[in-house]
Amino acid sequence: GDDADRIAGDAGDDLLSGDAGDDTLIADIGNDSLYGGTGNDNLNGGFGDDTLDGGMGNDLLYGRDGDDFISGGADDDRAWGDAGTDVIYGDTGNDLVDGGTENDDLYGGAGDDTVWGASTGEDMLYGGVGNDVIGVDVVEDYVVEEFNEGMDTVVSAQIDLDAANYANVEVLQLTGTADLWLTGGGEVTQLIGNDGDNDIEGGTASETLFGGGGMDLMYGVTGDDMIYGGDGNDVLTADLGLTTLAGGADDDLYIVDDGSATITVQDADGIYDIAIMDYIPQPGDTVMGTGHSGPATLITVTENANEGFDAVVTWSLDLNGADYAHVEVLAAEGYACINLTAGDDTEVMLGNAGVNVLTGSNHADYMDGGAGDDTMYGGDGDDFYVISSIFETVIETDSPDSGSDTVASYDVVIYGGDYRFVENFILLGSANADIVGGNDDDMIYGNSGDNLLDGGGGNDVLYGGEGNDTLKGDAQDNILNGGAGDDYYAMYSPTDIVIEDAGGGFDTIIGEFYLYATNYANVEVLIANNGSENEMYGGLDVVKMVGGDSSDTIYGGAADETLGGGASDDIICGNDGNDTVNGGMGNDNLTGGTGADWFVFDNNGVDEFDVITDYTIGEDLIDLTAFRPNTLRSYDFVFSSAGDGMMIVINSDNYSLPNYTIRLQGVDDYGSLDILY
């Protein structure tokens, strides 16, 4: 009747008709026919092969099990086929048609319809007239759309979408989070990614590409494209045409493949964005000096201020930072000879393997010429240059007092004298490279390798870093710090200062003229330079001191030390600790100081006369083992008293060895001497 009727079938093949009113028709077992009539009806087919016709009104139709035939009728209907091989017509109105499982034929009809195939089954999907959305879940789903009859969309959460498979479709869209592909072409004007990592490639038409929330690879190909990366770290590539690249949030990479394109790069967010401008000439092209095909076409990059650390990269074009507002990095790749010029916002310029010219600004610039023999121009500001060849040229155009500038290298020797107005020199990485400073006051830093750092002229500061380094201060007032590792210092000024980290290795100073304990800290070995008379004083950590070939004066410190005199007449004083004292060649004056000291005498093949000033019987030892293999016998020694002490003359009968005389001041009882021979 005309009321809101509720009609339920039973077992058997039933005919249920609602007529006017909002009716509910529920079939049971059997092949049933349900007709809703006018009104907003609810039809449920139940089990069996059923026929459902909603009639006029906004109807809900459920086919359930069996192979059903469903027609929504006029108005906006919702029809579900469920199990079975179903045929469903939405008819007129904005309908939802869902085939369910198995192989269904689904027709949206006139109106803006949603037609959805199942995750299983091979469906025929017909959108009809209107702006339709068609969902596909397997590659075997077949989509049919009318030409120029609406803005139609194919959607999937499970398969890649290629415009070649969907004629007369304008939009391809992914949903969910699966990592899927979108390929444009044909009539497609929009490609929309999901929250997965998508590969989205446009066709030859002018398209809009949306990346979604994942890490997407997006290709504009030809045409006037709009490419939006969305959230995630995306790669956006444009080719020919008027193209806009918008990376969106996170860190994006922009690639422009042709210099004849006009590209606008817009980025709203991101910490580190990169734009790459690239054109590779093809046969028949007319290549201008800028690397463009044909007349130079404007390529613009628009970045928001204070929104990340952004870059423009080229394989062929000269770059001027003035063209790229709020872009911090200009970089060249490949082997072409490319010039980079800093703008107001440029902070970093990176050359390639070719011969580059990098021109800085009036603020602080970072310039790395790359692998070629490059020329880098600085200016006002604290500039930082990285060289990879001794033939690279650095030109600082400011005065010595304008900015603190740095030349750095990973594996190339730096000669500071080649870089006027540069004050700082640094080794990067871990290679065993060297630095030789110039005549100015330099700051020199080694790396983690074994470095030779030579300050050159001027008052220099040298820091070795990790590794076993050699630091040379020259004749001015220098500060030397070897850092970690077993370091070696060459000191030529009594005002040089050596600073070593406690426990930073086994370190050695070779010094000239004077080495005072106030000149160094945490150093274990002191060696006097040959050619001058030196004076050395041991510090807290010194365990060995060695004289040169002149007359040296050596004062030990508080530790147990080994003190050696060298080749001339030396004065050696052990001070505190149990010291080993060896005068070496020459007529030496030896003092052990407090503690049990060991006096060692060498067989140098010449007559020598040494004096021990503080030999303590029962505590100190005289070591003559160096006179072996000639056997010393008791009658090879002559003991005699003379003046204020005893003298020991070794081999006084000239039995194959020269005489060696040791005088022990204050000792008159040879019977208690401790002699090792």
Structural domains of the chain ordered from first start? 1-150 (2.160.20.160)
User: What pLDDT sits at residue 303?
Assistant: 47
Q: What confidence score (pLDDT) does residue 489 get?
A: 94
Task: Return d(Cα 267, Cα 327) in angstroms, integer.
Answer: 10
Q: What is the mean pLDDT of the chain?
A: 84
Q: In this predicted model, which residue has the larger pLDDT, 317 or 565?
A: 565
Q: How far apart are CA 309 and CA 305, in angstroms?
A: 10
Angle CA(585)–CA(590)–CA(595) in degrees, nearest 5?
A: 135
User: What contacts 284, CB < 8 A, 6 or more positions away?
Assistant: none
| pLDDT band, very low/low/confident/very high, at 425 (cuts 50, 70, 90) | very high
List the structure tokens of 199: 């590969």
Q: How many CA atoms lie less than 13 Å away from 201 in the CB half-sphere?
A: 11
Query: Between 425 and 534, where is the model more confident?
Result: 425
Token pair 């082997």 in the structure block, residue:
335
Of residues 245 and 150, the one with the higher pLDDT is: 150
- Give the pLDDT of residue 569: 95
Most confident by average pLDDT, 99-113, 570-584, 659-673: 570-584
Buried b (16+ CB within 10 A) or exposed e, 70-104: bbbbbbbbbbbbbbbbbbbbbbbbbbbbbbbebbb
* Confidence class for position 444, pLDDT limits 50, 70, 90: very high
Helix (H, G, I), strand (E, B) or coil at 518: helix
Q: Greater confidence, 138 or 292? A: 138
Largest CA distance in the chain: 151
* DSSP bridge pairs for 386: 368, 408
By C-alpha distance, which of 437, 466, 432 is closest to 451?
Answer: 432
pLDDT class of 24 with cuts at 50, 70, 90:
very high
Q: How far is CA 254 from CA 264, 277, 278, 325, 510, in A?
A: 10, 8, 11, 16, 56
Q: What 3-state DSSP class applies to 321? A: helix
pTM as predicted: 0.63
Indicate whether 247 pLDDT > 50: yes
Do 598 and 580 contact (CB within 8 A), yes or no? Answer: yes
Under the banding of pLDDT at 50, 70 and 90, the label for residue 287 is very low
Q: Does 554 or 658 have the greater pLDDT score?
A: 554
Long-range CB contacts (< 8 A, 24+ apart) of 586-592?
586/551, 589/613, 592/616, 592/620
Structure tokens at 236: 């956006």
Cis bond leading into 400, ω under 30°?
no
Torsion sign across C-alpha atoms 651, 653, 657, 661:
positive
Q: Residue 503: which pLDDT band, with cuts at 50, 70 and 90? A: confident
- pLDDT top residue among 427 and 399: 427
Which range (110-119, 205-214, 266-275) has the least confidence? Answer: 266-275
As a whole number of angstroms, the distance between CA 568 and CA 586 comes to 5
